[in-house]
């Protein structure tokens, strides 16, 4: 047993399903990477130079001669002597071949639609770039974007990239406090926001939240641009140094702004992400390595082509939306779907309706979303023609074998490859996944590291663990998409993530994992999700996967209570009565799969689990409730209203 939380026997429960699923022949034949490409060997033989293949997917203003400068670890520089512009790569270079092909198909909350061809996108990105310049934005100035899922978000990201101004996207659902912190921390003088957006039927005033943030921020904001999302639905007066987006762009319509060639190592964007403690960290991504790795994985892992209509359902306010909602698909010149609404509005078939309407061929979402779909029922996808789907992807947390099979069967027509992709804000792009035309899939296991990624599962002393034993997921050699550092400084970056070993520098992911005989990695969750149950350590994921294996259970979260026991919070399918029999069956399953020692002391049924906006279950909050402790601000949750409900259920049962 080691510090990552569990011993091997227990960890195996996470992926109790030992099914191996081969890539379908038809997919294999046309996949971006085929078996006989020998891509794993090529990367092994020729590392790091093999990563030049990723750089080759981009257009460079000056081609890089050097692939990697590792002279100052862990501050690695990828393609350091290359120069490029990210916006040119995502827009201009497609004009010759596909100027009239759709780049973005947008669907608004009220059923509105807008489509942008690559020519349209080029025109608006240029006008926005000119507008930002007019306000005084120069190369290197950080522009904060606080926008919902509307086309102006990718447009302004690309406009920033065009003029070499790093963007700092703040998820539109975050509070004024969170926005103020991020404006200050990023030292940003410019803000782009909107009047508001619809929440269900109501117009929500985003601008007033931005105003509050501006009051709280340290006064460095010089100008604000306000997109008119709601028309007459909200009256939002503009103050001094506030500019209407449309009015700002109008005189620049048709203008071309010369793209600023950037060093590959120059900052493309900063993205704040929550750490284990304290304030969010500003993760900095460099232009060349990031874009190359994102393009390479969009092509080879998600198998996206220009001819696809592709949909990454993640919000652009998080890293997945940056890499695989904007930069990846547009760098490859594909058509991408942008959806503003929620998956169950106006009805629970909205996602399937959009896939059918757009003939989406590649769909990328999270296990959390898939669990909701399961909970709502297979009748929703079954009512639609989803035969356009060629590949499915998942990201963000472990997917249970049950959810994996459901996704493949009901969304993927029973035969689409499902790629489970592991990565982080800091890794920039996918680092672990199967190659869909090459590797067998093992539901519940992410898969091996991608070619060129040196991921290992190690014990406390840094030695590789035996197959099946839990350890820490680490990455030994650098990779192109890695962040170049933290806004908070080099020292913090080194301390948070890196360890020096006898073999060199090692990146610590913060995740616990096991690896099997074939090198397939199973993610056990964050190392800090480890819970102590009667003085034995378990990872939440192993208990939870045992629980969700029970018939009728849709989601579960386990936390330790104050007597060393474990409480399981469980949601069930709508038609299932959470009765004592189910309770007993859940407890028994955990005892069987993991051991008596982990048998939940209490099972609390709840209609929903509290989630962050990015869909992560807020375990700490559930732990506070379990322990009868005060819990902090819940306003950052997607569903703050469930907290009170859960608390009263727990108290009632006591």
**Residue selected from 208, 216, 273, 585 as contacting ligand WTA according to rule CB under 6 A:** 273
**Residue selected from 88, 358, 425, 474 as contacting ligand WTA according to rule CB under 6 A:** 425
Q: Which two tokens stand for residue 500?
A: 């020096």
Q: Which two tokens stand for residue 462?
A: 């840094």
- Helix residue ranges per DSSP H, 411-504: 490-497
Q: How many residues bind ligand WTA (CB under 6 A)?
A: 22
Residue number with CB closer to ligand WTA (264 or 617): 617
CB 455 within 8 A of CB 474: yes
Terminal-residue alpha carbon distance, the chain: 34
Q: Which two tokens stand for residue 364?
A: 């990328």
Under rule CB under 6 A, residue 216 binds ligand WTA: no
Report the nearest approach of ligand WTA to the CB of residue 423 (Å): 5
- How many Å apart are CA 357 and CA 638, to the nearest integer? 28
Residue number with CB closer to ligand WTA (318 or 569): 318
- Helix residue ranges per DSSP H, 59-205: 86-90, 95-98, 118-135, 152-162, 176-186
Under rule CB under 6 A, residue 424 binds ligand WTA: yes
Residue number with CB closer to ligand WTA (64 or 444): 444
**x-or-dash string of contact with ligand WTA, 297-336, rule CB under 6 A:** ---------------------xxx----------------
Report the nearest approach of ligand WTA to the CB of residue 616 (Å): 8
Residue number with CB closer to ligand WTA (478 or 578): 478
**Residue selected from 163, 418, 482, 523 as contacting ligand WTA according to rule CB under 6 A:** 523
Report the nearest approach of ligand WTA to the CB of residue 421 (Å): 5
Q: Which two tokens stand for residue 547?
A: 């629980």
DSSP β-ladder status, 143-145 and 242-244: unpaired
Report the nearest approach of ligand WTA to the CB of residue 405 (Å): 16
Report the nearest approach of ligand WTA to the CB of residue 402 (Å): 15
Report the nearest approach of ligand WTA to the CB of residue 259 (Å): 28
Under rule CB under 6 A, residue 542 binds ligand WTA: no
Q: Is the dihedral of CA 36, 39, 44, 48 positive or negative?
A: positive
Q: Residue 187, exposed/middle/buried by CB under 10 A (0-12, 13-18, 19+)?
A: middle
Residue number with CB closer to ligand WTA (117 or 398): 398
CA–CA distances in Å: residue 581 to residues 569, 576, 587, 588: 16, 11, 10, 10
Residue number with CB closer to ligand WTA (310 or 422): 422
CA–CA distances in Å: residue 608 to residues 40, 267, 584, 615: 42, 39, 20, 12
Under rule CB under 6 A, residue 365 binds ligand WTA: no
Residue number with CB closer to ligand WTA (107 or 520): 520
Q: Which two tokens stand for residue 652?
A: 């009632």
∠ CA(292), CA(145), CA(233), 5° rounding?
A: 135
- DSSP-based three-state secondary structure for 448: coil
Helix axes 206-216, 176-186, angle to 10 degrees: 50
Residue number with CB closer to ligand WTA (144 or 424): 424
CB 535 within 8 A of CB 565: no
**Residue selected from 511, 555, 561, 623 as contacting ligand WTA according to rule CB under 6 A:** 511
**x-or-dash string of contact with ligand WTA, 104-143, rule CB under 6 A:** ----------------------------------------
Report the nearest approach of ligand WTA to the CB of residue 523 (Å): 4
Residue number with CB closer to ligand WTA (132 or 523): 523
- Name residues contacting ligand WTA, limited to 609-638 (CB under 6 A): 614
Burial 533-554 (b: 16+ CB within 10 A, else e): beebbbbbbbbbbbbbbbebbb
Under rule CB under 6 A, residue 420 binds ligand WTA: yes
Residue number with CB closer to ligand WTA (85 or 398): 398
CB 393 within 8 A of CB 367: no
Residue number with CB closer to ligand WTA (60 or 493): 493
Q: Which two tokens stand for residue 345?
A: 């509005």
- Name residues contacting ligand WTA, limited to 380-419 (CB under 6 A): 395-398
CB 395 within 8 A of CB 389: no
Q: How is 508-531 classified by DSSP, letter by letter?
A: EEEEEEEE-TT--EEEEEEGGGEE
Q: Which two tokens stand for residue 298?
A: 């969009």
**x-or-dash string of contact with ligand WTA, 3-32, rule CB under 6 A:** ------------------------------
- For 159, other C-beta atoms within 10 Å of its C-beta total 29
Report the nearest approach of ligand WTA to the CB of residue 571 (Å): 20
Under rule CB under 6 A, residue 446 binds ligand WTA: yes
Maximum Cα interatomic distance, the chain, rounded to a whole number of Å: 71
Stretch that binds ligand WTA, among 199-207, 239-247, 370-378, 508-516 (CB under 6 A): 508-516
Under rule CB under 6 A, residue 242 binds ligand WTA: no
Residues that bind ligand WTA (CB under 6 A): 273, 318-320, 395-398, 420-425, 446, 509-511, 523, 525-526, 614
């Amino acid at each position: 047993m080691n510090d990552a939380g569990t011993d091997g026997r227990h960890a195996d429960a996470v992926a109790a399903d030992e099914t191996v699923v081969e890539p379908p022949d038809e997919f294999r034949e046309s996949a971006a990477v085929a078996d006989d490409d020998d891509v794993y060997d090529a990367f092994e033989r020729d590392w790091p130079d093999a990563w030049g293949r990723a750089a080759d997917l981009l257009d460079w203003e000056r081609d890089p001669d050097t692939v990697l400068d590792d002279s100052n670890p862990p501050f690695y520089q990828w393609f350091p002597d290359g120069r490029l512009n990210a916006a040119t790569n995502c827009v201009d270079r497609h004009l010759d071949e596909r100027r009239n092909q759709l780049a973005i198909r947008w669907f608004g909350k009220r059923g509105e639609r807008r489509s942008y061809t690559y020519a349209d996108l080029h025109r608006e990105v240029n006008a926005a770039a000119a507008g930002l310049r007019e306000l005084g934005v120069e190369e290197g100035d950080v522009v904060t974007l606080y926008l919902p899922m509307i086309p102006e978000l990718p447009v302004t990201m690309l406009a920033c990239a065009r003029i070499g101004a790093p963007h700092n996207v703040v998820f539109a659902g975050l509070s004024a406090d969170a926005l103020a912190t991020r404006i200050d921390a990023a030292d940003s003088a410019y803000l782009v926001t909107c009047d508001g957006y619809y929440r269900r039927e109501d117009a929500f005033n985003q601008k007033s939240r931005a105003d509050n943030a501006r009051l709280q921020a340290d006064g460095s904001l010089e100008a604000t641009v306000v997109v008119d999302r709601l028309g007459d639905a909200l009256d939002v007066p503009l103050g001094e140094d506030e500019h209407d987006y449309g009015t700002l762009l109008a005189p620049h319509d048709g203008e071309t702004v010369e793209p600023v060639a950037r060093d590959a190592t120059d900052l493309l964007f900063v993205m704040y992400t929550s750490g284990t403690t304290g304030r969010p960290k500003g993760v900095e991504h460099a232009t060349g390595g990031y874009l190359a790795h994102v393009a390479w994985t969009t092509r080879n892992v998600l198998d996206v082509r220009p001819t696809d209509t592709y949909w990454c359902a993640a919000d652009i306010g998080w890293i997945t939306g940056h890499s695989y909602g904007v930069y990846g698909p547009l760098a490859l010149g594909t058509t991408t779907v942008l959806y503003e609404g929620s998956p169950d509005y106006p009805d629970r078939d909205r996602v399937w309706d959009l896939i059918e309407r757009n003939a989406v061929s590649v769909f990328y979402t999270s296990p959390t979303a898939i669990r909701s779909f399961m909970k709502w029922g297979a009748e929703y996808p079954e009512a639609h023609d989803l035969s356009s789907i060629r590949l499915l992807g998942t990201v963000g947390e472990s997917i249970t074998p049950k959810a994996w099979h459901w996704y493949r069967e009901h969304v993927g027509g029973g035969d689409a490859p499902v790629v489970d992709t592991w990565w982080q804000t800091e890794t920039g792009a996918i680092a672990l996944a199967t190659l869909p035309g090459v590797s067998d899939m093992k539901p519940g296991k992410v898969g091996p590291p991608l070619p060129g990624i040196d991921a290992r599962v190690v014990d406390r002393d840094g030695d590789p663990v035996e197959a099946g034993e839990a350890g820490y997921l680490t990455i030994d050699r650098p990779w192109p998409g890695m962040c170049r550092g933290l806004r908070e400084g080099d020292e913090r970056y080194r301390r948070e993530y890196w360890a020096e070993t006898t073999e060199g520098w090692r990146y610590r992911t913060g995740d616990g994992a096991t690896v099997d005989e074939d090198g397939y990695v199973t993610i056990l969750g964050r190392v800090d999700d480890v819970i102590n149950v009667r003085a034995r350590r378990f990872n939440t994921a192993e208990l939870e996967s045992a629980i969700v294996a029970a018939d009728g259970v849709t989601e579960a979260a386990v936390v330790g209570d104050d007597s060393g026991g474990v409480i399981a919070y469980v949601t069930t399918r709508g038609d299932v009565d959470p009765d004592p029999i189910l309770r007993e069956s859940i407890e028994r399953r955990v005892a069987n799969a993991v051991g008596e020692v982990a048998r939940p002391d209490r099972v609390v049924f709840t209609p929903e689990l509290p989630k962050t906006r990015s869909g992560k279950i807020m375990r700490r909050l559930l732990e506070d409730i379990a322990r009868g402790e005060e819990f902090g601000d819940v306003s950052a949750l997607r569903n703050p209203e469930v907290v009170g409900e859960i608390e009263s259920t727990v108290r009632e049962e006591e």
